[in-house]
Each structure stands twice: as structure tokens, then as C-alpha cells.
Amino acid sequence: MWRGWSVLAITAVAVFAIQGAQAANTSNNSAETEPVTVTGEATGSLTSASPEESAEQKLQVPGAFTVKTTDDMELGRASNFEDLLQRTPGVFLQSENGMELSKISIRGSGITSEDEPLGVMFLMDGLNYNQADGETILEDMDVAAISHAEVFRGAGQRFQWELSLYHSWFRNELLEINDAFGNDLGTRNVPRTIHQGIEADLEIELLRGIFVPRQSNRPGDRLSLEQTYTLNDFRMDQNAVYGNNRLPGIPIHVYEAQLLYQTPSGFYAGPTLQCNLSRYPVDEANTLFADSYVLLGFRAGFQRPSGFSVFIDCRNLTNQTYAAAIDVIADARTGPNPEIFHPGDGRSFYGGVSWSW
């Protein structure tokens, strides 16, 4: 309060002093002053790095750190964070309706959240975006307005790779549990759990100058292969009811890949692959499981920094039936036919046209 009043008092004195000086030198003659030009330039955000600065930071971070720009998202459907964070090792996303995300899990944190992501910290321009209860309303974020995302979890030219192995001991993790008699206790603190796994990312530029040779003023065409693999091994630790059962609701072995051909003119095309390689439990008792699946896709288009761009994004071309999201329960044996599986989209096609300047 004192600082605020001090500023106001000084301002008032300054105004009065200026007015007094002007009154003493009042003249009927007009006067012209020299023009004053004020110039400035944008310096970017004061709280977050630019995509270029993040890419430079990635080269200097020895741990697991992934930068996802919107360049890859703009090659196909750009609806939500699943499109932005695809092929990010260690990150698992679930959607109940194919559009809005209900879960974002990093290394197992947030796997039991229901309506909104819980257990993961979100920062917007460096500022905490989580609510007081830890949840985050991702629908409030406009994905189209995001320049890039940083996932903290290393570098090269034609060959880039990441490999992280981790083992974490948790105390009093919140999970949906039953007692020894099968009674639902709701969400409770579990004394001990273990989160461990592997996160691997491999990007290889297979070929350069295939049909369009490289020139001094522009690059040639290229064929690249990007692959990610995640092992999620999350378990109870000597629990009185569930022993060393796996924590439910998240796939154990996840593999994603993209083979992409790109030309300097902006044309691109290539297949995509998303695999859940093994079944995984959906209840704490490990009595009910979600099946494995393999989803094949294809994307193609024409993208320029300015002017006309067009894309087509084909997903689940083999029309596989699979569970895209799970509502985790304690014990599937306590109720007949639990309705906890949310089906994923069947064969689907997305397209778009844009003009930028």
C-alpha cells in the first residue's frame, strides 16, 4: 500500500510542477518541436523459449527432453494434443470421443484420472496452467495457437536418438481400490507403487537427393523414418490386497512409426503405424484386460510457409476395433459386464485446405 501511494504522490507532484512551469512561460506565439520517432522490435515471450531456442536447448540437455513443433501436426489432422504429441516416447494419451482428451500420462502419472487430465503439470508460456485440484481443462487451450510443446523426460544430423531408462518408487499414490472382500473403497492412497520403464526414440534420414538433388540455395528431397518405443512397467509393491499386480489402464508396450517422403517444394507423403503390442489390465485385480491392436495410417499433402496448403490424413485404414480409452476400476469381478471400454474411431479420413500470408 505504501509503494502504491508513493507512486501516486510523486506523479501528482510531477504534474503540478510541469503545470506551474508552463504557466510561468505562457506565450501567444505558436511553437513547433522537432518530430520524435519511437521504434521497437518484438523480442518474443519473456517466459518461454521460441521453437528455435527449444531445439538448441534440446542439444544441450542430456536427459529425456522432446520438442514437438506444429510443423508435424500440420501435415494431418490438427484437433487436439494427441495430434501435437504423437510419437513422443513416454507419453500416453486417451480420448473418450476421438476429439477431447481425458488422459495424458507421462511415465504412468495420471493413469487413473477420469474427466480431465490429472497428475501432470502443464505450463503455458512458462506459467502453471493446472487448477488448484491438479486437474487441467485442456479444452480451454487452442491447439492451433500453440507454436511448440516441450516434454521434459540426444542429438545429431541424419541420425538422432534418445534412450531413457527409469525406476521410481512412489509413496501414497492415489488409486481406485477395493478392500480384501471386494468392496469398492473409491480413490485411496496406496502405500507403495513402482514406476519403471524404457523410452526410446530413433529418427533416421534414410535417403537424400532421391529425385530432387540438393543445390547451393535449397535442400533436396529426403526420406526419413521416425520410430518411438515405450515400455510402461508400473506395479503395486507388496500390497496387502493386490500383491505386486500391474497398475491398470495404460498399455505396456507401445510402438509408433512414420515413414515420410518430403520435397523442398512442400510435397510430403508416407505411411504411419501405431501399435499396442500386448494386452494390458484395466482393473487393479488384473482380472480383465484390453486387447492389443495395430493401426495403419497414411498422410500426404502440400505445405508451404506462405500461400496454399492442403493435406489428407487417413487413420485406421484396416478398420480395427480397439479400446481408445479405459475407465479404470478396482475389480472387474465385483460387477457383471463393466462398461469401461471407450471404442476408438474406425476407418477415418481427414482433409484440410489453408491459405497463409
pLDDT, one tens digit per residue, over 228-264 is 999 999 999 999 888 999 999 889 999 999 999 999 9
Overall average pLDDT of the 324-335 stretch: 85
Q: 200 — phi, psi (to 5°)?
A: -130, 140
Q: What is the pLDDT of residue 182?
A: 63
Q: What is the pLDDT of residue 154?
A: 35
pLDDT digit string (tens) for 147-200? 777 776 534 456 677 888 899 999 988 877 766 666 777 778 889 999 999 999
- Measured distance CA(151)–CA(80) in Å, rounded: 16
Q: What is the pLDDT of residue 87?
A: 72
Overall average pLDDT of the 259-288 stretch: 94
Q: Which percentage of the chain shows pLDDT scores above 70?
A: 67
- CA angle (148, 151, 154) in 5-degree steps: 100
Q: What is the pLDDT of residue 14?
A: 30
Task: Give the pLDDT band (50/70/90) at residue 34.
Answer: confident
Contacts of 345 (CB under 8 A, 6+ apart): 98, 315, 316, 324
Pull the grid cell for residue 280: 494390458
Q: What is the pLDDT of residue 3?
A: 35
Whose cell is 537424400? That residue is 208
Q: What is the pLDDT of residue 45?
A: 63
Q: What is the pLDDT of residue 139?
A: 67
Q: 3 — phi, psi (to 5°)?
A: -65, -40
Overall average pLDDT of the 126-151 stretch: 69
- Measured distance CA(255)–CA(199) in Å, rounded: 10
- Indicate the burial class of 201 (C-beta count within 10 angstroms; 0-12, 13-18, 19 or more): buried
Overall average pLDDT of the 15-33 stretch: 51
Contacts of 154 (CB under 8 A, 6+ apart): 58, 59, 61, 62, 65, 160, 161, 162
- Measured distance CA(307)–CA(286) in Å, rounded: 53
Among 286, 316, 314, 288, smallest CA distance to 299 is for 314
For the chain, what is the mean pLDDT? 77
Q: Which percentage of the chain shows pLDDT scores above 90?
A: 32
Which of 43-47, 103-107, 190-194 bottoms out in mean pLDDT, i.e. has the lowest? Answer: 43-47
Among 315, 313, 328, smallest CA distance to 242 is for 328
Q: Would the pLDDT of 4 be above 60?
A: no
- Measured distance CA(326)–CA(176) in Å, rounded: 13
Pull the grid cell for residue 261: 517422403
Q: What is the pLDDT of residue 322?
A: 95
